[in-house]
Amino acid sequence: MDAIFLQILNGLDKGGAYALIALGLTLVFGTLGVVNFAHGAIFMIGAFCAVTMEKILTLSVKVKDTSVTFFDAYKETPYLELWFGKTGSAIIDWVVPISIVVSIPVMLGLGILMERSLIRFFYKRSHAEQILVTFGLAIVLQELVKSFFGANPIPVSAPDIVAGSAAIGSWIGLGDAVVYPWWRLIYLLFSVVIISAVFSFLNFTTWGMVVRAGMADRATVELLGIDIERRFTIVFGLAAVVAGLAGVMYTPVLPPDYHQGMDFLVLSFVVVVVGGMGSLRGAVAAGFLLGILQSFSSMTEVKSIIPGIDQIIIYLVAVIILLTRPRGLMGRRGVMES
């Protein structure tokens, strides 16, 4: 029972991350019709917003370590700690929440810049050409990050107050062995909030309604005198913000490196395809479904029946869904169909 509860929780936690990443991807595809292979790189840049913020907050006075003579080793004390003492340490400790605030305008600007300077020229080109150009863009972005930050993962910690595990088992009458990291619970909550916010924005605001109308029939919306292209540009920026925030929040879970975006890219595309190209609800549902399936397939009991199932489950489900429902779980008619 404990094991099953933990795997469900883990599946929801993983699913939250998958859904959040896939949401931005499907938002761009649904509005602009662009297959954006640079989405993973945007996620990675979000994570590096947190790394950059940490480097800024921990700018230090360097005192040479005289015990080391063959190279330059320094004992470093951050300026913030020198100037503000414990308050300075607390600011450094809260680097991830601070990065969330900072990354919103940064990612919005980056998204709009990408869309205006490159993506918009490929709206009417084939999906193959869109994939090539966005994939190329992803490689450029990741190599730029590598040249600045190196190839090694860079750790960024969650605030101390949420660094440990929550005794979730004792809350609900299960054993003490049932614990779950605070930060992962926060990530799950965060992903639910962001997903709800995006849905609310698109469904309950006039602005969102116009965007949805543009997704359904762009020509008619333009005939009504609405500058739909401008709104779509902003939607691209919003998708970048969602991916970026997902990246920032993920840094305490996985120390980011330049290749992180590529690691998530294939997975997020599978989520989008299983959910149905262009379907926001489908992406979210598929994210959680695949997260839970992946978590359960990793249990020793399951692996002893079907060895290696944990490594192929996501792709196996994708194959089954595409064979039985070629449009995915909630795909719209006519999307990516001739």
- Is there binding between residue 78 and other proteins (CB under 8 A)? no
State whether the Cα torsion 248-250-251-256 is positive or negative. negative
CA–CA distance, 146 with 19 (Å, rounded to integer):
27
Helix and strand counts by DSSP (H, E) for the chain? 15, 4
Nearer to other proteins, 156 or 239 (CB): 156
- Is there binding between residue 251 and other proteins (CB under 8 A)? no
The strand pair at 60-64 and 74-78 is best described as antiparallel
Nearer to other proteins, 212 or 303 (CB): 303
Q: Residues 217, 222, 227, 263: which binds other proteins (CB under 8 A)?
A: 263
Q: Rounded to 5 degrees, what are φ and ψ at 278?
A: 90, -5
104-143 footprint of other proteins as x/- string (CB under 8 A): ----------------------------------------
CB of 209 to other proteins, least distance (A): 36
- Is there binding between residue 152 and other proteins (CB under 8 A)? yes
CB of 275 to other proteins, least distance (A): 20
Q: Residues 133, 257, 280, 321: which binds other proteins (CB under 8 A)?
A: 257
- Is there binding between residue 54 and other proteins (CB under 8 A)? no
- Is there binding between residue 261 and other proteins (CB under 8 A)? no
- Name the nearest CA neighbour of 168 among 144, 184, 187: 184
CB of 72 to other proteins, least distance (A): 6
- Is there binding between residue 279 and other proteins (CB under 8 A)? no
- Is there binding between residue 13 and other proteins (CB under 8 A)? yes
Alpha-carbon distances, residue 303 vs 13, 291, 310 (angstroms): 21, 16, 7
User: Does residue 225 come out as left (phi exceeding 0), alpha (psi in the -120 to 50 range) or beta?
Assistant: left
- Name the nearest CA neighbour of 208 among 198, 194, 221, 195: 198
- Is there binding between residue 288 and other proteins (CB under 8 A)? no
Nearer to other proteins, 67 or 206 (CB): 67
Nearer to other proteins, 277 or 290 (CB): 290
Q: Which residue has the tokens 């450094």?
A: 92
Q: Rounded to 5 degrees, what are φ and ψ at 152?
A: -75, 145
Q: How many CB atoms within 10 Å of residue 102? A: 17
- Is there binding between residue 224 and other proteins (CB under 8 A)? no
Q: Residues 76, 222, 227, 337: which binds other proteins (CB under 8 A)?
A: 76
- Is there binding between residue 79 and other proteins (CB under 8 A)? no
* Tokens coding 75: 């004992």
CA–CA distance, 171 with 94 (Å, rounded to integer):
27
Are the CB atoms for 46 and 244 separated by under 8 Å?
A: yes
Q: Could you tell me which residues are beta bridge partners of residue 233?
A: none
CB of 309 to other proteins, least distance (A): 11
- Is there binding between residue 170 and other proteins (CB under 8 A)? no
Q: Residues 102, 120, 144, 146: which binds other proteins (CB under 8 A)?
A: 146
CA–CA distance, 162 with 250 (Å, rounded to integer):
14
**Binding residues for other proteins, total number by CB under 8 A:** 56
State whether the Cα torsion 147-148-150-154 is positive or negative. negative
Nearer to other proteins, 252 or 275 (CB): 252
- Is there binding between residue 178 and other proteins (CB under 8 A)? yes
- Residues of this chain that bind other proteins (CB under 8 A): 2-3, 6-7, 9-11, 13-14, 17, 65, 67-68, 70-76, 146, 150-155, 157, 163-165, 175, 177-181, 183-184, 252-255, 257, 259-260, 263-264, 294-295, 298-300, 303, 310-311
